[in-house]
Amino acid sequence: MHSLRQLASFLRPYWRYAMICPLLMIVEVAMDLLQPKLMQQIVDVGIVRLDLTMVLHTGMLMISVALIGLLGGGGNTIFAVKVAQGVSADVRSTLFRKVLSFSFGNLDTLKTGELVTRLTNDVNQVQEVVLILFRILLRAPLMLIGSIIMAVFTSPRLAVIVFLLLPVLAGLLLWVLRSVQPMFAEVQRRLDVINTILQENLAGMRVVKAFVRADYEEHRFARVNDDLMAQTIRAIRLMAIVMPGMTLVLNLGIVGAIWFGGLQVMYGNMQVGQIIAFVNYLLRTLFAVVMVGMLLVRVSRAEASAERILEVLHSQPEITDKPDALAAFTPQGRVTFEHVAFNYNGNRHEPVLQDIHFTAEPGQTVAILGATGSGKSSLVHLIPRYYDVSAGRVLIDGVDVRDINLTVLHRRIAVVFQEAVLFSGTIRENICYGRPEATEEEMITAAKAAQAHEFISAFPDGYATLVGQRGVNLSGGQKQRIAIARALLTNPAILILDDSTSAVDIETEGKIQNALAVLMQGRTSFVIAQRISTVLTADKILVLDEGRLVAEGKHCDLMTSSTVYREIYESQLGGRGMAL
């Protein structure tokens, strides 16, 4: 219950509803507990004395009591639902806000499938237990205590049966609870695996079909699905022991009460109405224990979900602002790497970048070349501080990026990633994503520079065209050009193009480069490209090899000084390149 208690702070906005719920539940339970006594009165007084008037009056009173209990129970349910829904909405919003605060390193650790499970299934488990807490879990202890008191008051002799049965039921409950919580924690972990595979397949369905791997993916999903089913069955099988076991104890208690009570009636020590009332209280007592047991199993499952929610809430962003971080910064665009080294997740045994040292002057275009895995993307991700360096410094205009407020830093740097991610909405909303206040003219200017205006205008709805999920109704090149327009519209001091024109043809890429050359005058740009032909005119070319900067300079200089660069050049352009 420790994790659920930590989430109790989410109840504070709903404390009024939370206070009303127990009061209404007390009304419902009190009315329920009155019914057996009224029934006893009908049997022992009305029926024995053949007093029909008394039977009718007591019957009407029972109906009135039942209606009052209905109002109490209905009101309790209404307010309990308000609390449960409010808490789940707040937890979900807090989780989502927390995820948005994470740095790239956090997202590398917490996989998408896991986060989806925690934002949906785990929150739903907590929502259900809050509803149970204010509805059934609140009712069961009240009914248990009230029934024991009324049973003792009705027949102290028969009440011994209650005190004999309670330890047996409590022992059975404790055994089940200790066993079932680890099982449900494993159920949630396996649900993570299923969600991860689902997310991968839904995002990569075209790849699956293109490589005829549907059977493989079906078997992979079936395997983890069967694992989830098997683990869930094991947990529920253990839960299933509770109800038959408690029912057996309950029935033994009823048999004992009727047998012993019957003997007392024969001896003239008890009345039939007393036995009826006592059996009713015994049923309520033991049924309350059964309810507590079943609900505590649900609480155990919610406890496992609460632990997973708290794991996200307690995770701290790896990249944070310093207390004295610069809140105002207007850079000219001079970027310096001072002997930078970088390792993912602090793993110094697997360095990604080693001793990177160079300077990009304001307005320069810096091209970055290298084989796959040489560290090109990792290098540019250090500039906007998506990751922190492991050693050395990254400076912008002589200021360490770690000394600049992250929001301020990101507003001055625009990045177009390898994968052009678009959001559901219109093309206009996607282009203006970084500057929602941009004018129509500014948006069109950015789209023209990205060579996107022509194909956007060809759509019947133009810039109001709806973009499908992840831009499914657009080609790869169209998505990349919209992503470039989105970056240009923010008017950045530093632009980073991370292989962002790989999906466009050479002619379109040339037009984009020409437009950028005009728009980015006085701005620093970093270009990662697979086609060496697109970076020949760069002011500076950096050549990376296995995380090290092995060459730096202009094209003509590198052709004579760098074997690695010359090999890349000749492998792509061959004799045609040598003739240029």
Same domain, 274 and 374: no
Same domain, 449 and 368: yes
Q: Residue 329 domain-assigned? A: no
Q: Residue 219 domain-assigned? A: no
Same domain, 276 and 351: no
Q: How many domains does the chain have?
A: 2
Same domain, 165 and 41: yes
CB 14 within 8 A of CB 87: yes
CA dihedral 176, 178, 179, 183 (to 10 degrees): 120
Same domain, 362 and 304: no
Strands across the sheet containing 494-498: 399-400, 391-396, 335-342, 353-360, 548-553, 540-545, 365-370, 524-528, 494-498, 413-416
Partners of 544 in beta bridges: 370, 549
62 Cβ contact list (under 8 Å, min separation 6)? 35, 38, 39
Question: What is the pLDDT tens value at each position of the chain, 580 positions in all?
Answer: 677 778 888 888 888 888 898 899 889 888 888 888 888 778 777 777 777 888 888 889 889 988 998 998 889 889 989 999 999 899 999 888 888 888 777 777 776 767 877 888 788 888 888 888 888 777 878 888 888 888 888 878 787 887 787 787 777 777 776 777 677 778 877 877 887 787 777 666 656 765 667 788 888 888 888 888 888 888 777 767 766 777 777 778 778 878 877 787 777 777 777 788 888 887 887 777 777 766 777 777 787 788 888 888 888 888 888 888 888 888 888 999 999 999 887 666 678 899 999 999 988 889 998 887 888 888 999 999 988 998 999 999 999 999 999 889 988 888 888 777 888 889 999 999 888 998 999 999 889 888 889 889 998 989 998 887 666 778 777 888 888 888 888 888 898 888 766 656 677 666 667 766 666 667 888 988 777 777 787 889 999 888 899 988 888 888 888 888 888 888 777 655 444 4
Q: Residue 214 domain-assigned? A: no
Q: Residue 537 domain-assigned? A: yes
Report the distance separating Cα 424 and Cα 440, nearest Å. Answer: 20
Q: Where does a domain end: 259, 279, 313?
A: 313
Report the distance separating Cα 453 and Cα 18, nearest Å. Answer: 56
Return the CA Rg of the chain: 35
Same domain, 342 and 287: no
Same domain, 415 and 275: no
Same domain, 33 and 144: yes
Q: Residue 523 domain-assigned? A: yes
Strands 425-426 and 494-498: unpaired
Q: 3-class DSSP state for residue 200?
A: helix
Q: Where does a domain end: 313, 343, 378?
A: 313
Residue 259, Cβ density class (10 Å: 0-12 exposed, 13-18 middle, ≥19 buried) = exposed
Same domain, 251 and 117: yes
Per-residue model confidence (pLDDT) at position 347: 60
State the CB neighbour count (10 A cutoff) for residue 294: 19
Report the distance separating Cα 68 and Cα 24, nearest Å. Answer: 10
Report the distance separating Cα 208 and Cα 117, nearest Å. Answer: 23
Q: Residue 188 domain-assigned? A: no
Q: Where does a domain end: 313, 347, 376?
A: 313
CATH of the domain at 434: 3.40.50.300
Q: Residue 202 domain-assigned? A: no
Same domain, 179 and 303: yes
Same domain, 344 and 271: no
Same domain, 10 and 57: yes
Report the distance separating Cα 151 and Cα 222, nearest Å. Answer: 53
Residue range(s) defining the domain that contains residue 125: 2-183+240-313
* The three-state (H, E, C) secondary structure of 540-551, written as one string: EEEEEECCEEEE
Q: Residue 377 domain-assigned? A: yes
pTM given for the model: 0.70
CATH of the domain at 290: 1.20.1560.10
